[in-house]
Structure 1
Amino acid sequence: MQAISAIDVPSAPVAHTGRSWARAAQDIRQGIGHRELWGHLGWQDIKQRYRRSVIGPLWITLSMAITAAGLGLLYSQLFEASIGTFLPYLTVGFIVWNFILGCLTEGSDTFIANEGLIKHLPAPLTVYALRTVWRQTLMLMHNLLVYVVVLAIFFNDLSTPGYEITEHGTPQPGLSWAALLAIPAFCLIALNGAWVTLLFGIISTRYRDIPQVVGALTQLLFFMTPIVWSTDILTKRFGEGAADWKILVAELNPLYHFIQILRAPLIGNTQSWHHWVVVGGITVIGWSLAFLAMRNYRARVSYWV
């Protein structure tokens, strides 16, 4: 609490009572307005996690580098893929996946983990959700250092028009100025991370089994999402009829679309508008559910935790 004393907080408790759309909107609006508070808390989470460590938060980067290098070398051999195109594909996939995974798993525990602050700090509930998303954003920024190194090493491979992720796979256009689409893509993913944290966080305060359910499902979703494998592999292994498998395994997996809108521009893959449509639709539906949860159960969170 000492670290928070230097940050401006509301002088009076924020009203958490009553069911009202206006109060739910006010909570979200005020939460966004307290940027210094949730920004400070998120950064303190990173510092606290690696306190007394020799290299500190750089362990985030080092862990990602080791994972990407090890699995990239392994799976590129298993799938007979060129390391120069497959390793960047896998690296960016892991970076985006870690952000999504953090929002899902840590988001479910957001209000439970902030029990003490919720009961004693007069701040909007949205502050704690944004704290989690900001913490995941800081970790993603550390992991992007791995992407920069991989990009520098394999830039020629990724910038060659018509390159393939796997042998005899779909030709890709290569890196171009379309890489700037990664900026709105990440903003859209972070926006979804906020509603996921709010919605799952509220539900988890009432039903404590939810974090365990989310943790178990994310393990399954990891293997079903094209991160360490690409959709080209389905066609190579099972023939043209694998298009049906692609629809079932990849296209119906919402996480695939989230990963692809950010991964595609960063490694020069084909940009497909339908990924953006799916993510946009999920954003609208997700925020509608989160807003409904805030309206109906926001006042009960402080009692449930």
Structure 2
Amino acid sequence: MDTMQNSPPADAAAPLSRPEPVLHLVPEKGVSYFRHAWQDLVDGLKQARLGCTLGWLDIKLRYRGSILGPFWLTASTAIMIAAMGVLYAYLMRMDVHEYLPFLTFSLVLWGFASSTLQEGCRTFTSAAGLIHSARMPYTLHVLRATVRNWLTVAHNIPVVAVVFLWFHVTPAWSWTLPIALVVWVLDSFIATLLLAILGARFRDVPPIVASTMQILFFVTPVLWKPALMSIGQNWLLLDPMFPLMEILRAPLTGDVLKAAIWPAALGWSAGLAVLTFLLFARMRARLAYWV
């Protein structure tokens, strides 16, 4: 007599099969470009503490093993101002007490702007390892570079303070000073993002920016005062660096700020912001392939 064994049914013996996940790759188009770019910006600002920490570590690693560290920048700036201030005041026949504070603040501002633009070209290419290995917002790398440049320029503030105290220059407090500082912070972030995108796509951008800044150094009122240009001062507004420097420099050095300076500065800043956001929204998905 055959015995029947209780064997599980075929369906029960086989493991339960689960549907394999399917990855749907949907290309960006239309409004999604701007939505993802805005989300990247929001995510980067949410990690602002990480960006500030990375910027601080960059400063520490850059000057590791140095005795003075970043204060070499302070010493070199002081020596350059002392040498150039006396010479150019003599050549332009200007009073040293009036010219040296102007030159000091102008050179510090220009040094910050120049280093921000030139280092901005290498922001994404220098962070290629992190971009390829970790999923991080692109704007976090921009925030890191911006914080690093602001920490660097902070080491030159003692030079400005000593010169102002030595020549008894009392900055005229104005409600526009905090707004001008905010404009500079935002513009440094936006300009770094713009040049980071262009520098990742076109490797000719860094030398172009370096050459352009060298030309603008002599065209922009940095070594010379705008008052020396008796005719055609309005043409200086076509130089984006002039109104941006003037909104922060004029109140501190006691110069008169013309009415057209602020509209020009805000106009250049708004144009820069719109152009950068449009370019970032269009090129953000390709940045990882360019670096």
Calculate the TM-score normalised by the size of structure 1. 0.82
Q: Is the 8 A contact 2:86 2:96 kept in 1?
A: yes
Q: Is the 8 A contact 2:172 2:252 kept in 1?
A: no
Question: Within 1, Cα distance between the matches of 2:41 and 2:237?
Answer: 32
Moved over 4 A (4+): none
What per-residue deviation string (whole Å, max 9, x for no partner) do you get for residues 154-202 of structure 1?
11xx34xxxxxxxxxxxxxxx3322x63332122012111111111111
Q: 1:262 aligns with which of 237, 245, 248?
A: 248
Cross-structure match for 1:18 = 28
Q: Which runs of 5+ in 1 are unaligned?
A: 1-16, 160-174, 236-242
Q: 2:93 aligns with which of 76, 80, 97?
A: 80
Helix, strand or coil: the match of 1:229? Answer: coil
What per-residue deviation string (whole Å, max 9, x for no partner) do you get for residues 63-106 of structure 1?
21112111111111111111111011001001111111122111
Question: Is 1:206 paired with 2:201?
Answer: yes
Q: 2:185 aligns with which of 157, 181, 190?
A: 190
Would you say how many aligned residue pairs link Structure 1 and Structure 2?
Answer: 263
Q: Which runs of 5+ in 2 are unaligned?
A: 1-26
Cross-structure match for 2:70 = 57
Question: Within 2, Cα distance between the matches of 1:279 and 1:151?
Answer: 25
Quote how far apart the aligned CAs of 1:270 are: 1.2
Helix, strand or coil: the match of 2:229? Answer: helix
Q: Is the 8 A contact 1:225 1:255 kept in 2?
A: yes
Question: If you compute each CA radius of gyration, which structure gives the higher value, 1 or 2?
Answer: 2
Q: 1:176 aligns with which of 160, 172, 178?
A: 172
Quote how far apart the aligned CAs of 1:110 are: 0.8
Question: Within 2, Cα distance between the matches of 1:295 and 1:66?
Answer: 44
What per-residue deviation string (whole Å, max 9, x for no partner) do you get for residues 38-83 of structure 1?
1011111211221111111211211211121111111111111111
Cross-structure match for 2:145 = 132
Helix, strand or coil: the match of 1:271? Answer: coil
Question: Within 1, Cα distance between the matches of 2:160 and 2:199?
Answer: 34
Question: Within 2, Cα distance between the matches of 1:234 and 1:288?
Answer: 32
> Identity of aligned pairs, percent?
35
Quote how far apart the aligned CAs of 1:233 are: 2.3
Question: Is 1:247 paired with 2:234?
Answer: yes
Question: Is 1:89 paired with 2:102?
Answer: yes
Q: Is the 8 A contact 1:110 1:197 kept in 2?
A: yes
Computed over aligned residues only, the root mean square deviation of the Cα atoms, in angstroms, reads 1.7
Calculate the TM-score normalised by the size of structure 2. 0.86
What per-residue deviation string (whole Å, max 9, x for no partner) do you get for residues 210-267 of structure 1?
11111111100001010111122233xxxxxxx12x333x232110111111111221
Quote how far apart the aligned CAs of 1:117 are: 1.4
Question: Within 1, Cα distance between the matches of 2:126 and 2:284?
Answer: 16
